[in-house]
Structure 1
Amino acid sequence: MIFNVNDDSNANFDTAFNLLARSADAGVFPGAVAAIGHSDGLLRVGAYGSRCLVPEKLPVLPDTLYDLASLTKVVATTPLFLIFQEKGWLSAMDKVSYYIDGFDEGNKKHITLLNLLTHTSGMKAHVRLDQMCRDRRDAVRYITELPLLHDPGERVVYSCLGYILLGHILEKVGDDRLDALCKRYVFDPLDMHNTSFNPEPGNIAATEYDEKEGRPLVGLCHDENARFLGGVSGNAGLFSNIYDLAIFGQMLINNGLHKGRRFLSGASIKAMTRNYTSHLNEDRGLGWCIRGSRLGGMEEVYISAGDLMPPEAYGHTGFTGTSLWIDPEDDLFIILLSNRVHPSRDNTEFLRFRLLFHNAVMAGMEK
């Protein structure tokens, strides 16, 4: 079921969408598109504000593409891993050293793909590869040679570097580039035809103003490392719109089914959403953040799920102002796409707004 944008036929969520509209008007973000759905489809969609402020003001449209940033990890890289696992091509318990030379020394020899997926590898969170490396091959070498911050399995440290390596490994296993593999195994089977790396120019939300280029980034990956890697990386680089992500969210709520056909096995969904790190400092599944019952998570101050989602809910955010949360207990998915980094990443008001928006949606479920 697809609603027209700003359809108010489901009044239960008026509070949430009024908050969205007011926040866009107040400059908490330039613009946003949000969707609420369940196992049968979409319940409500709304688009507010502008997709671009400079050099000209352009309105958000229902099908505006957004730079998903780190949602790439769970919409592209993680499902591709699960599909390859189901095919018997790899295992979460495989050592990284099986695929990448240089991981067979010291504590690195203990790092598994599971560690990469749960951010427990002990690797650094982030380095600027574009400032250290010449090309993709050199980037893999550089990451491989970095010292570990912690022993593998000792602590959750959210690491884009780990997911860059995971994307590289999937390319080796699938014998093709990551963008081609994701299209073949994830996006085409799910009819997500507006989802891609390096999208064609058009209706795309602007992100940060690039001083070097003298213009905002539009259709170019905001993440510096993914952009250095040609816009195709396991950690970031994916673009999509609200309707394609609603397909993805509905598939997850339906335990891996898409239009009655099996996309992911129920066993994979269970494995993906298991809390592997309840004994550590954050709650993590395969790629996803598990809501859990404690504070903390993907932001230092605000967990993006809000206060009212149950512990079993799982989700992820993107630095550009995107998020996807799945609440199986209440048969609910919530998608929020914004470009809060346009024209500057200094805008952090969005972090609190996202929490408030999710609280209003959850309260609306009971009306």
Structure 2
Amino acid sequence: MKLHINLFFILLSGSLGFAQDHSKELVYNTPNSQGLDSAYIYHKVDSIMTRGIQERAFPGAQLLVAKNNAIIYHEAFGYHTYDSLQAVSKKDLYDLASVTKIAGPLPVLMQLHDQGKLDLDQNFSYYWKPWRHRKDKKDLTVREVLAHQAGLEPYIVFASKLIRKNGKLKRRFVRHHYSHIFSVKIYDSLYLHNRFYRKMKRIINRSNVSDEKKYKYSGLSFLLYPEIIKNITGVDYEDYVTDSIYRPMGANTLMFNPTGKYPDSLIVPTEIDNIFRNKTVHGWVHDENAGLMGGVSGNAGLFGTALDLAKLIYMYQNMGVYGNKRYISEGTMKEFTKAQYAENDNKRALGFDKPLLNNSELSISQASPAPEVSPNSFGHGGFTGTYVWADPDNNLLFIFLSNRVYPNRSHRALYNLNIRPSLQQVFYRADEHE
């Protein structure tokens, strides 16, 4: 049982008086320092994580939890893969999958809203011109699109356009060597035709829209935000979010395409892909659509460590402030993190996920996330098994990182065992065991 705590950080934080520090910056401390039962937390988390690994919910995982401004739990479990050769480290970099949506384009969109450059009730087609000529899309608002209320198709498998019936890649789209025409690197020795993204956009622009306006999760618009952000700011999306968000808060491991920027040994592999890469996806984005955009997208593609991701989510929890810097106005944070169409049975905020509308009344097997979270809490999950949640009412931050899709995406024990809500629940109940 891993009943150990990082004493270095505990002693450091205690000696500097961090336990009483009310600045908007994360520091390490113990669960007991925040009135929670350390022994109970470590026992329960160990039990849940051990079962998850034994039942192949994931080969390894990492959990970081902060209460108030103190990181009270940060531990790694298991291995990178089921061969048990490399143990998970707290410095490991994970493919964040759809957590990218709230960690990549969303903070930029919120800043643009603060600057008066993005109007939530303006037609999305005002910012994405091709939709101005699409009868079913021209009147959709930014608010409807961000809240998944617009009726857009959930997902389009663009990789299917690359593959012949015999499973081989079409040479008109993919080559094994770089050239000025095939310059979009999509994996080791795989280069995509420069104009394929145009094809993706055409398909999105022509995609169906439901006549019925109700909650329907769609990631399609997040494939467009990088270009929209560049159109509005004049700066490449990756550079903008790095320079305006990640670098100022010291979240330097939040990055796209980490191969060559971060030690390969500390990048957790995701899936053994049999769609078009036909090898283990390691250091490249798992999501195929993001991969076809060269790994830099708004729907997926971001990698990060638990600690640096926690800085960003903690900024959200503090309504736009981290350290001594305000990144997003409090008004914008409150608007983006509230349910937009609850009267229409849509729990979603703007980009952010929210608890089920009757979440507090549900059992742990039915709730999403844990039943104890506040209605004002928010977060997002990722297909690879990642999950982040911020609860400003309880000052509780939850970060779970795993590669549950290893060796393939058919592994669903993470969901069937209710791993993430069960872990989250531990920290809401820990004060009952003092």
TM over 0.5: yes
Find 1:282's aligned residue among 326, 343, 346: 346
Indicate whether 1:135 and 2:196 are aligned. Answer: yes
Find 2:45's aligned residue among 5, 13, 16: 16
Query: Does the 8 Å contact 2:359/2:368 carry over to 1?
Result: no
| Correspondence for 2:374 | 310
Indicate whether 1:329 and 2:393 are aligned. Answer: yes
Query: Does the 8 Å contact 1:273/1:286 carry over to 2?
Result: yes
| Correspondence for 1:349 | 413
CA distance in 2, matches of 1:266, 1:237: 28
| Secondary structure of the corresponding residue to residue 149 of structure 1 | coil
Structure 1 residue 302, shift from structure 2 partner: 4.9
| Secondary structure of the corresponding residue to residue 80 of structure 2 | strand
Query: Does the 8 Å contact 1:192/1:247 carry over to 2?
Result: yes
CA distance in 2, matches of 1:169, 1:320: 26
CA distance in 1, matches of 2:400, 2:102: 15
Indicate whether 1:229 and 2:299 are aligned. Answer: no
Query: Does the 8 Å contact 2:316/2:390 carry over to 1?
Result: yes
| Secondary structure of the corresponding residue to residue 200 of structure 1 | coil
The alignment-based identity, stated in percent, is 27
Residue correspondences, number: 357
CA distance in 2, matches of 1:178, 1:50: 33
Structure 1 residue 9, shift from structure 2 partner: 9.0
Indicate whether 1:319 and 2:378 are aligned. Answer: no
Residues 168 and 366 (structure 1), Cα distance of their counterparts in 2 relative to 1, 3 Å cut: farther
| Correspondence for 2:242 | 183
Cα deviation code 1:47-73 (max 9, x no counterpart): 00012336x732100111110000001
Structure 1 residue 213, shift from structure 2 partner: 4.3
Runs of at least 5 residues in structure 2 that lack an aligned partner in the other structure = 1-26, 31-35, 163-194
Residues 295 and 215 (structure 1), Cα distance of their counterparts in 2 relative to 1, 3 Å cut: same
| Correspondence for 1:60 | 88
Indicate whether 1:88 and 2:149 are aligned. Answer: no
| Correspondence for 2:28 | 2
Indicate whether 1:41 and 2:70 are aligned. Answer: yes
Query: Does the 8 Å contact 2:100/2:301 carry over to 1?
Result: yes
Query: Does the 8 Å contact 2:355/2:368 carry over to 1?
Result: no
Of Structure 1 and Structure 2, the greater strand share is in 1
Residues 20 and 224 (structure 1), Cα distance of their counterparts in 2 relative to 1, 3 Å cut: same
Cα deviation code 1:17-37 (max 9, x no counterpart): 432234224422110010110
| Correspondence for 2:98 | 70
Structure 1 residue 129, shift from structure 2 partner: 1.8
| Secondary structure of the corresponding residue to residue 334 of structure 1 | strand
Which runs of structure 2 are paired with 1:85-234 in the superposition (5 Å)? Answer: 85-104=113-132, 105-132=134-161, 135-151=196-212, 154-201=213-260, 202=264, 203-211=266-274, 213-234=277-298
| Secondary structure of the corresponding residue to residue 217 of structure 1 | coil
Query: Does the 8 Å contact 2:273/2:281 carry over to 1?
Result: yes
CA distance in 2, matches of 1:346, 1:276: 33
Residues 172 and 192 (structure 1), Cα distance of their counterparts in 2 relative to 1, 3 Å cut: same
Query: Does the 8 Å contact 2:314/2:390 carry over to 1?
Result: no
Select the structure of larger CA radius of gyration. Answer: 2
Indicate whether 1:362 and 2:428 are aligned. Answer: yes
CA distance in 2, matches of 1:287, 1:195: 19
Structure 1 residue 103, shift from structure 2 partner: 1.4
Runs of at least 5 residues in structure 1 that lack an aligned partner in the other structure = none
Query: Structure 2 counterpart of 1:293, which letter?
Result: L
Indicate whether 1:29 and 2:58 are aligned. Answer: yes
CA distance in 1, matches of 2:432, 2:101: 32
| Secondary structure of the corresponding residue to residue 111 of structure 1 | coil
Query: Structure 1 counterpart of 2:121, which letter?
Result: M
Cα-Cα RMSD:
2.3
CA distance in 1, matches of 2:313, 2:270: 24
CA distance in 2, matches of 1:331, 1:295: 19
| Secondary structure of the corresponding residue to residue 42 of structure 1 | strand
| Secondary structure of the corresponding residue to residue 152 of structure 2 | coil
Indicate whether 1:254 and 2:280 are aligned. Answer: no
Query: Structure 2 counterpart of 1:189, which letter?
Result: P
Structure 1 residue 325, shift from structure 2 partner: 0.8
Cα deviation code 1:316-355 (max 9, x no counterpart): 1000000001111111011000000011111111012122
Residues 260 and 12 (structure 1), Cα distance of their counterparts in 2 relative to 1, 3 Å cut: farther
Q: TM-score, with normalisation over the residues of structure 1?
A: 0.90
